[in-house]
């Protein structure tokens, strides 16, 4: 019996973004950020858990001085859709007052997380705040939000891999896949 990960990786047709496409995009986004923040020392905030691979790849490509910090907010649990309710599970450690802050997300779907984070971080009085997201789903937002640095615009499908999970699995994969129906069924048997 093969693992769920093996079953997914064998489904080449479900690859949405290859390792190479992701690498290229991450390098381009890091180059843009390095240019825009030249002479500044921004604090980059990783929104756990989904952003962890994107975040580490992104910061490794930056050529400016920067600091890193981590927040964790509650998200989907094991569901495929947002519950709409967001809690802070881990706060930032670094004082953000007067700092240039870049909040790094894996994916924006309903926009609720970004909307929430923007209001919450704003209370910490940063000098500036921008959002970075590797993926942005098209036509799924239920609130207005701004995201200044966007990687790929994708469809409505549920995606996994490269930090993104289903039931906590598949975060370790270097590609991004569309969740196959058959795998969803197998995991919910
Ligand atoms: P939003 O608050 O914009 O609805 O969703 C934000 C969070 O939901 C993302 O940071 C991510 O953790 C999770 N999410 C949204 N869409 C997907 C998806 O297609 N796949 C996975 N694995 N997580 C998603
Ligand atoms: Mg996220």
Q: Is the pLDDT of residue 82 over 80?
A: no
Asked if the structure places residue 172 within a domain, the reply is no
Q: List residues bridging with 17 in a β-sheet.
A: 176
Residues 125-161 pLDDT 10s: 999 999 999 999 999 999 999 999 999 999 999 999 9
The per-residue pLDDT for 139 is 95
Range of the domain at 128: 20-155
Asked if the structure places residue 64 within a domain, the reply is yes
pLDDT band of residue 9 (cuts 50, 70, 90) is very high
The per-residue pLDDT for 76 is 62
pLDDT band of residue 77 (cuts 50, 70, 90) is low
Average pLDDT over residues 35-51: 97
Catalytic pick among 36, 87, 93, 109: 109
Asked if the structure places residue 57 within a domain, the reply is yes
Asked if the structure places residue 170 within a domain, the reply is no
Measured from the CB, is residue 16 less than 6 Å from ligand 1?
A: no
121 touches 100 (CB < 8 A): no
pLDDT band of residue 85 (cuts 50, 70, 90) is confident
* E strands present in 91-185: 100-108, 128-137, 149-154, 159-160, 176-178
Average pLDDT over residues 111-122: 95
Radius of gyration of the chain (CA): 17
Measured from the CB, is residue 129 less than 6 Å from ligand 1?
A: no
Asked if the structure places residue 95 within a domain, the reply is yes
The per-residue pLDDT for 155 is 97
Asked if the structure places residue 4 within a domain, the reply is no
Looking at the CA of residue 157, tell me the nearest atom of ligand 1: 19
Residue % of the chain over a pLDDT of 70:
96
Asked if the structure places residue 165 within a domain, the reply is no
Number of domains in the chain: 1
Asked if the structure places residue 161 within a domain, the reply is no
CATH number reported for the structural domain that contains residue 59 in this entry: 3.40.50.2020
Name 70's Cβ contacts closer than 8 Å, sequence gap at least 6.
45, 46, 48, 90, 92, 93
Confirm whether 109 is a catalytic residue. Answer: yes
Q: What is the token pair recorded at 12?
A: 């080449």
């Amino acid at each position: 019996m093969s693992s769920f990960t093996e079953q997914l990786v064998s489904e080449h047709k479900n690859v949405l973004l290859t390792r190479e496409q992701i690498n290229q995009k991450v390098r381009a986004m890091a180059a843009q950020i390095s240019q825009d923040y030249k002479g500044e020392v921004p604090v980059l905030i990783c929104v756990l858990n989904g952003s962890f691979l994107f975040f580490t790849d992104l910061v490794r490509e930056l050529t400016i001085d920067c600091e890193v910090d981590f927040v964790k907010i509650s998200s989907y649990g094991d569901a495929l859709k947002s519950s709409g309710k967001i809690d802070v599970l881990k706060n930032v450690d670094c004082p953000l007052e007067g700092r240039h802050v870049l909040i790094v997300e894996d994916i924006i779907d309903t926009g609720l997380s970004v909307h929430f984070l923007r209001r919450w971080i704003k209370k910490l009085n940063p000098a500036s705040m921008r959002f970075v997201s590797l993926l942005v789903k098209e036509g799924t937002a239920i609130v207005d939000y701004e995201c200044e640095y966007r990687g790929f615009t994708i469809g409505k499908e549920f995606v996994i891999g490269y930090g993104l999970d289903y039931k906590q699995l598949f975060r370790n994969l270097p590609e991004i896949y569309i969740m196959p129906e058959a795998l969803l069924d197998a995991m919910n048997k």
